A and B are shown apart, each in its own frame.
Chain A
Amino acid sequence: SAVISQKPSRDICQRGTSLTIQCQVDSQVTMMFWYRQQPGQSLTLIATANQGSEATYESGFVIDKFPISRPNLTFSTLTVSNMSPEDSSIYLCSVEGLWSGELFFGEGSRLTVL
């Protein structure tokens, strides 16, 4: 199993500012996934963070808006840049168990942009 510590758990931010979300995993993993969950919606993959290379972004998400760092095999950050109210969502990081294939998630970061 994997335990993921994600922070902050929630924040209220002003329009135009940026916020960085951190995820720490208690074991080494190859890929970390960053998701956005807008109110009443399913999870949408923002990007896959790979250690030692650029993150792979999904259609509709760009590095300038959601820069990601992956300095080692246990840690990643997602920054939501130049925020607008439309960025108000829950952001989650996730990993897949290396041997089990089970999905593990952080506790989520509930972001409100005023």
Chain B
Amino acid sequence: KNEVEQSPQNLTAQEGEFITINCSYSVGISALHWLQQHPGGGIVSLFMLSSGKKKHGRLIATINIQEKHSSLHITASHPRDSAVYICAVGPNTGNQFYFGTGTSLTVIP
């Protein structure tokens, strides 16, 4: 069983649509991270959450600690949002991070 499960695995949307990517985890965590991976392979950090909700521009991330669940929302999606979105958790013991397998998002003009 994976410590971090993401859904959906693949997502295609029309430009302008509202997008939701979900992440569930099974370990106790100190923080949850949403990452964006571009086709070249580089990864950038979008959010780090330990509670509640954060917003950067058109991106919103929420986390429910009791339910061990997080969502990443993209409002007014754009083709440049096309990437793989990865959920990762930092456990509250040890150094290792656990990563989901990613959600591949394609936004069509």
Contact = CB atoms under 8 A, between A and B. Distances in A.
A4 B91 CA distance: 23
Contacts of A103: 33, 35, 45, 48, 88, 97
Given A101-B31, A101-B90, A107 B42 contact: yes
B99 A43 contact: yes
B66 interface: no
A42 B35 contact: no
B41 interface: yes
A24 to B, nearest CB: 15
Given A42-B101, A42-B102, A100-B48, A105 B95 contact: no
A108 B96 contact: no
A101 B42 contact: no
A90 interface: yes
A48 B101 CA distance: 21
A101 B48 contact: yes
Interface in B82-109: 86, 88, 90, 95-97, 99-102
Contact of B40 (A31, A43, A101, A108): A108
A33, A101, A103, A109: which has the most chain B beta carbons within 10 Å? A103
Given A42-B4, A43-B99, A103-B48, 17 more contacts: A9-B41, A40-B101, A42-B101, A42-B102, A43-B88, A45-B96, A45-B97, A94-B43, A96-B90, A100-B48, A101-B48, A102-B45, A103-B35, A108-B41, A108-B43, A110-B40, A110-B41
14 contacts: A9-B41, A40-B101, A41-B101, A42-B86, A43-B86, A43-B88, A45-B96, A48-B95, A94-B43, A100-B48, A102-B48, A108-B40, A108-B43, A109-B41
